[in-house]
A and B are shown apart, each in its own frame.
Chain A
Amino acid sequence: MATLKRPQPRFDVLKIPVIGPLLRWRWGRLVFQTILLLIAVLLLYDGFTGPQFAPENLSTVVTWIHYRGIIVFGFLLLGNIFCMGCPFTIPRTLAKRLAINGGRWPAFLRNKWLAIGLLFGFFWAYEYFDLFASPLLTVWIIAGYFVASFFLEAIFSESVFCKYVCPLGTFNFVSSTVSPVQISVESRDVCSTCPGKECINGTTQMGTVDRPVKQGQGTISLDSIQVLGCGTELFAPQIESNLDCTMCLDCVRACPHENVILSVRNPLKETSEGAWPQRWDISILVLVFAFSALGNAFGMVGPVFELEAALANGLNVQDEALPLLIIFGVTNLILPIGLGLLAAWLSRAIANRTESLRITLARFVPSLAPLAFSIWLAHYGGFHFLGSAATVFPVFRNFMWDHNWFFLGPPDWTRAAVLPINWLDPLEMVTILIGLLASLYVLNERGKRAPNKRDGMLVQLPWMLILVGLTLASFWIFYLPMEMRGVAFTG
């Protein structure tokens, strides 16, 4: 006798005592945002007024060591926690309330092309302007984020900054595709009969004073809630991907039926099973994200300086900008796009399919995400964070000491690494190998989802070569001694 297949009950993070109610609370996000806002204010203060000496300034230490390290561990353990508490969106919310009738983002920009360009530009600027060595430039970037977020949200009716512009958000969106949580719903039936769709529309637009709704144990009117709907315009019951989800949980708070959940999932579910968007921009974004993981690390090892010098001599230029643009243009744009298209074309040819190259590319490109994330994790989380996170203690003590607040004592400059330094290399290699295995698993699963017949090992071979190539290249780069980019370019 046949049995009906029932979906497995999903664990809802929002049902965890203390954490769940805090996240569901109307002001829950604001608590996280306020904490990060205060940290941002502290960084702005120290960056603008403190010593312009990166190792002793909180702005550079916290931004380039802790922010990057914590977010990658956040993706691994939970999800897009930075976007959840993003301080840049506090003025955004204010702007949204000021600009009720904002226009729509232009149709030709409603994709990831601008975000890809800005992400590329951010990585280039990071190296060219030595952002890691400049407290002042670092905090100007933070200030710029506040201003850009505010004005874009004041002009447009949707969360344009988060969805289409923010390079950090773009990085976070792709990283969170391998995170273990995702917004979902308890029952799709509830959503199908929901008249207001408050999770996307918000409660300010749909409420009627005389129509009370259930909220927790009490009964209140919709108009009194006034929670914004999803800023990036995702409809909770249809969400199958963390792409574009800022984990703001506005949908959770807006839902009058308490039907939206934060479900725990297999971290590889989205890339291996999910309905991945068959869009050029999304596929190219993942390719750029993957190869930038190498390009970003390559920017800090000896061979890149020799390459830069050779290019500068060949081009007869004294400035680093053009050589660096060429190097990053090749490693972060031309190589990923070229190899991605070549691999898709070969896979399609081997499988003897007639589908669009866009479809083939979208089928296999998600397999790069786990390995790419593991390289970022090894770099930002392993090398920088675990190798340096404790530096914040003496730097903060020094900050206090400089303000004549002596109760913490003088800085102990011997503190730096969280783990023994000689553990880091093996840890990074293991992380990347796990990423490779996860990617190979996803690749195989994606092959099974090809129409009509499975795309076998031979069809997957071009992608395997890319994955193995990325792994070997990352090993090579990670085992090279790090060299800091000189302030004075000597091309």
Chain B
Amino acid sequence: MMKKIYLLSACLICAFLLAACGGRNSANSGSSGLDIQIDAGSTSVGTTDLMITVKDTDGNPINDATVDIKGDMSHAGMQPVLGESSASNGEGMYMIPYEWTMAGDWFVTVNVTLADGTVGSERFDFNGISGEMSDMEDMDMEDSEMNHGDMEMEEATE
């Protein structure tokens, strides 16, 4: 009995290790082939807007895409902040209402679905979201830009 259980466990471990050769699709995902840029109105805890600009490889704005976002913190267990927009401003920019729900390091994953069904995805780091509450309704653009200047934002290098 004992030997059978050890054998079974060993087989299962081998199966997992073999499966590991393939890895997960999301772990292996590379560049989307699209030029995706993101800009946050505020980087303090509270509500804000994320401005996402989508362009093709030639730098032409894409205005007929659907953009959805998923904001996660660097740790497990937080409910992600989700948003979606298919309304471009004509220059490939999509504005999505957003909320930084906690101070700390965030990742925003942007998924872009083009009209022909092509999907592109990029993940962006927003390190050091401030714990000081903000509200876009009470914030003029000058404040917003100042906050953005203090923020470390970079494209994730997975």
Complex contacts, A384 vs chain B, CB 8 Å? 77
Complex contacts, B123 vs chain A, CB 8 Å? 53
Give Cα distance in the complex from A402 to B105, angstroms: 25
Task: Pick out which of these stretches binds chain A: B10-18, B57-65, B87-95, B112-120.
Answer: B10-18
Give Cα distance in the complex from A403 to B27, angstroms: 11
Complex contacts, B75 vs chain A, CB 8 Å? 54-55, 60, 64, 130, 132-133, 484
Contact A51 B80 (CB under 8 A): no
Contact B103 A302 (CB under 8 A): yes
* Cβ of B87 to closest chain A Cβ, rounded Å: 22
Give Cα distance in the complex from A483 to B26, angstroms: 27
Interface residue? B147 (CB, 8 A): no
Complex contacts, B34 vs chain A, CB 8 Å? none
- Prevailing SS type, chain A contact patch: helix
Contact B9 A34 (CB under 8 A): yes
Complex contacts, B5 vs chain A, CB 8 Å? 27, 30, 34
Contact B77 A488 (CB under 8 A): no
Give Cα distance in the complex from A73 to B1, angstroms: 32
Contact B77 A391 (CB under 8 A): yes
Of residues 16 through 70 on chain A, the ones whose CB sits less than 8 Å from some CB of chain B are 27, 30, 34, 37-38, 41-42, 44-46, 48-57, 60-61, 64-65
**Interface bin, chain A:** 35 or more
Contact A413 B80 (CB under 8 A): yes
Interface residue? B158 (CB, 8 A): yes
Contact A483 B131 (CB under 8 A): yes
Q: Quick one: given A45-B20, A55-B75, are A488 and B128 in contact (CB under 8 Å)? A: yes
- Among the interface residues B6, B12, B77, B128, which one has the most CB atoms of the partner chain A within 10 A? B77
Give Cα distance in the complex from A476 to B77, angstroms: 22
Contact B77 A388 (CB under 8 A): yes
Q: Quick one: given A399-B24, A403-B22, A403-B24, are A130 and B74 in contact (CB under 8 Å)? A: yes
Interface string of A263-307 (1 = CB under 8 A from B): 000000000000000000000000000000000000000100000
- Prevailing SS type, chain B contact patch: mixed
Contact B12 A488 (CB under 8 A): no
Contact A53 B72 (CB under 8 A): yes
Interface residue? B97 (CB, 8 A): no
Give Cα distance in the complex from A486 to B82, angstroms: 22
* Cβ of A318 to closest chain B Cβ, rounded Å: 16
Interface residue? A387 (CB, 8 A): yes
Complex contacts, B1 vs chain A, CB 8 Å? 27
Contact A50 B102 (CB under 8 A): no
Interface residue? B107 (CB, 8 A): yes
Interface residue? B152 (CB, 8 A): yes
Complex contacts, A42 vs chain B, CB 8 Å? 16
Give Cα distance in the complex from A461 to B58, angstroms: 76
Q: Quick one: given A45-B17, A90-B9, are A484 and B79 in contact (CB under 8 Å)? A: no
Q: Which residue of B lies closest to A48 (CB)?
A: B20
Give Cα distance in the complex from A48 to B5, angstroms: 25
A404 contact from B12, B25, B72, B77, Cβ within 8 A: B25
Give Cα distance in the complex from A57 to B127, angstroms: 20
Interface residue? A482 (CB, 8 A): yes
A-B contact pairs, 5 of them (CB 8 A): A55-B75, A60-B75, A65-B76, A413-B79, A487-B127
A34-B5, A45-B16, A55-B72 given; name 5 further pairs at CB < 8 Å: A51-B26, A55-B74, A55-B77, A384-B77, A486-B127
Top-6 shortest CB links A-B: A484-B104, A416-B79, A388-B77, A402-B24, A483-B103, A55-B72
